Chain A
Amino acid sequence: MQTLKKLFPFYLRLDKDLNIIEYGRSMGKLLHENGSFKDHFKFIRPNFGITHSFASIAEFLDQFFILELFHHPKKVRFKGQFIIHHEHEDELWFCGSPWLMSVEDLQQHDLFVTDFAQHDSAIDTLLMLNQNLLNLQDNSKMIADLKQKNERLQQVNERLDAIVYAITHDFRAPLLASIGLLQLPESMVLEELPEILHTLKRLDRTIIHLNELSKNEKIALKFSTINWEELIRESYHNYSVIYGIKIPIHLSINETTPFHSDTFRIRTIVNNLISNAIKYARPVLEETSFIKISIHTDPSSCIFTIEDNGEGIDEKNLENIFKLFYRASIKSQGNGIGLYIIKEMVQYLKGTVTVKSVKNEGTTFTLKFPNQKLE
């Protein structure tokens, strides 16, 4: 008898008239009075053909039972079986335990793991259900991860396609031209050397650009204070030397608060914009060419505008200029990467870039960056 009580802490002992004459210590946490079995429990399974009588239950001794303690504020169901002990033949014993669907249900009924017998797999089922929830969490995380990786792969793939296309077409043409020129008779090669040098330098810039592009993906953001004046003067100086043109620059910086952002990306963006403004200046204008840069920072953002009166861009091409390897014309001096880098980096910095341009009048780029907090 003691053994049985230990093995089934939720047991019930019923007499011939189905009065509850005793119950287990754990059942005592849910059932607070003896009384009649009928007043407390109803049969969920078996349900057909069973009544609240000793004889009726006795017919179902070989069956699995689900009982419901219906008086309980949060109806509890039990699973188990009825037995007749050979030393107590005028009694019915219910041996089973509550069937709960989550660990939280345990808490709701003020039950603890220790209220269940060690052998009772009801508690393991509960733990398993809890674990299943975590499994579901894992699954949604995996799906989200996969989706993100997929999008990323697609993007990388598209870029790879564009790069392969560029290498086979855009890189090969100048290389073949240079090889052709180098195969001319020696005296003529000498004459062509400046042209060859120019072509090779352009190829080199394309490679530098591709490198910047791949760095954008790899280098983590690192915020520091941007020294606009120094950054712009340095870039302007470098590109004036590279292109051998000096176009007057007007710089207006209105900094109410310091601007914090990622120096590597801001520098690359500025370099590309200034290099474009110089490269696409109209030679016919001579001294009247200009580059105007204005900067306005406040605690939340920075607006950077660069305006020139250079070649300008045809309206029909405007929407495409930020695409990788897009060039407005076959004669375009660019490699179609610079503006793409600008767009990618601005996006990485969670900023925006817009462009206004009129062919043969000039171009204005307006960029807006969030002002980051230094840690």
Chain B
Amino acid sequence: MHGVVNQAIEGLISQRFGTEAWEEIRIASQCADTTFYNNHNYSDTVTYALVVNASKILDMDIQTLLFEFGKYWVLTIAAEKYAALLHSAGKGLREFLVNLPNFHSRVMLYYPEITPPEFKVLEVSDTTLELQYFSKRPGLHPFVSGILEGLSTFFETPATIELMDTSMEDEYHKSVFSLHF
């Protein structure tokens, strides 16, 4: 996984639980890297190991942790590195999400080696959007929930976010979210 995702894990743990907790988790995960760079690709095994060990050491369930990592990613990492980029993709959360499917496709142009997720957005009504998330990686839908929650704060667009369904389609793990504005 790309460095920006691992940065969220490192950042949140160090900020809320201290650098000692982070060191313990990093070492337990056999992660030799002491810093994650923005533009570097790391093995997915490291990312999953960090999450699993963080869950054990901090005694928090994996889903809650992933959700928190997602929120932190938007509100700290992306707000610092990609604020203008996020704003450039929409005036509010709804407009932003309608454009979301293009986002990772464009990112893939300059990081051809990554496997970013795909999204489909259906405008169900004036107040409801359906967001479908497809990833080759398993179990990350709580991370998406956290990102959506963070985006709602970032764009100052209140919304209720609900996970409707998770399933497999071909080699993709699919999750369906309903967003009500």
B-binding residues in A (CB < 8 A):
102-104, 106-107, 111-114, 118, 123-124, 127-128, 130-131, 134-135, 137-138, 141-142, 145, 220, 375
Asked whether, in the complex, the Cβ of B87 is within 8 Å of the Cβ of A123, the reply is no
With A124-B106, A127-B107, A134-B81 known as contacts, the answer to whether A107 contacts B87 (CB < 8 A) is yes
Asked whether, in the complex, the Cβ of A141 is within 8 Å of the Cβ of B106, the reply is no
What B residues does A141 contact at CB under 8 A?
A: 35, 37
Q: Which of B18, B82, B91 contacts A112 (CB 8 A)?
A: B91
What A residues does B81 contact at CB under 8 A?
A: 134
What B residues does A135 contact at CB under 8 A?
A: 38-39
The answer to whether B40 has its CB under 8 Å from any CB of chain A is yes
User: Cα distance A134–B95 when bound, in Å?
Assistant: 26
Q: Given A112-B89, A113-B89, A130-B82, 14 more contacts at CB 8 Å? A: A103-B88, A104-B84, A112-B88, A112-B90, A112-B91, A124-B109, A127-B85, A130-B84, A131-B39, A131-B110, A137-B38, A145-B35, A220-B23, A375-B18
Name 10 A/B residue pairs within 8 A (Cβ), A-sorted: A103-B84, A104-B84, A107-B88, A111-B88, A112-B88, A114-B89, A130-B82, A135-B38, A138-B38, A375-B18
User: Cα distance A67–B91 when bound, in Å?
Assistant: 28
Asked whether, in the complex, the Cβ of B88 is within 8 Å of the Cβ of A134, the reply is no
The answer to whether B171 has its CB under 8 Å from any CB of chain A is no
Asked whether, in the complex, the Cβ of A114 is within 8 Å of the Cβ of B84, the reply is no
The 7 closest A-B pairs by CB, nearest first: A103-B84, A134-B38, A138-B37, A106-B88, A104-B84, A113-B89, A103-B85
Return the chain B residue nearest A130 by Cβ. Answer: B85
With A112-B91, A114-B90, A145-B35 known as contacts, the answer to whether A107 contacts B109 (CB < 8 A) is no
> In the complex, how many residues of chain B place their beta carbon closer than 8 angstroms to a beta carbon of chain A?
24
What A residues does B40 contact at CB under 8 A?
A: 138
Which residue, A114, A123, A141, A142, has most C-beta atoms of chain B within 10 A? A114
The answer to whether B102 has its CB under 8 Å from any CB of chain A is yes
User: Cα distance A145–B89 when bound, in Å?
Assistant: 34
Return the chain B residue nearest A221 by Cβ. Answer: B20
- Shortest C-beta distance, B133 to chain A (Å), equals 20
What A residues does B109 contact at CB under 8 A?
A: 124, 127-128
Asked whether, in the complex, the Cβ of B110 is within 8 Å of the Cβ of A127, the reply is yes
User: Cα distance A127–B81 when bound, in Å?
Assistant: 12
User: Cα distance A138–B2 when bound, in Å?
Assistant: 13
User: Cα distance A114–B20 when bound, in Å?
Assistant: 44
User: Cα distance A107–B39 when bound, in Å?
Assistant: 24
User: Cα distance A114–B95 when bound, in Å?
Assistant: 10
Which residue, A123, A131, A135, has most C-beta atoms of chain B within 10 A? A131
The answer to whether B99 has its CB under 8 Å from any CB of chain A is yes
Q: Which of B73-102 contact A (CB under 8 A)?
A: 81-82, 84-85, 87-91, 95, 99, 102
User: Cα distance A107–B89 when bound, in Å?
Assistant: 10
User: Cα distance A123–B85 when bound, in Å?
Assistant: 11
Return the chain B residue nearest A127 by Cβ. Answer: B106
What B residues does A220 contact at CB under 8 A?
A: 20, 23
- Shortest C-beta distance, A216 to chain B (Å), equals 17
Asked whether, in the complex, the Cβ of A142 is within 8 Å of the Cβ of B37, the reply is yes
What A residues does B102 contact at CB under 8 A?
A: 113, 118
Asked whether, in the complex, the Cβ of A113 is within 8 Å of the Cβ of B38, the reply is no
Q: Which of A106, A123, A134 contacts B84 (CB 8 A)?
A: A106
User: Cα distance A267–B84 when bound, in Å?
Assistant: 52
What B residues does A134 contact at CB under 8 A?
A: 38-39, 81
Which residue, B23, B39, B40, B89, has most C-beta atoms of chain A within 10 A? B39
What B residues does A112 contact at CB under 8 A?
A: 88-91, 95
What B residues does A138 contact at CB under 8 A?
A: 37-40
What B residues does A142 contact at CB under 8 A?
A: 37
What B residues does A128 contact at CB under 8 A?
A: 109-110
Return the chain B residue nearest A142 by Cβ. Answer: B37
Return the chain A residue nearest B34 by Cβ. Answer: A145
Asked whether, in the complex, the Cβ of B88 is within 8 Å of the Cβ of A113, the reply is yes
- Shortest C-beta distance, A224 to chain B (Å), equals 14
What B residues does A102 contact at CB under 8 A?
A: 84
What A residues does B106 contact at CB under 8 A?
A: 123-124, 127
What A residues does B88 contact at CB under 8 A?
A: 103, 106-107, 111-113
- Shortest C-beta distance, B57 to chain A (Å), equals 15
What A residues does B23 contact at CB under 8 A?
A: 220
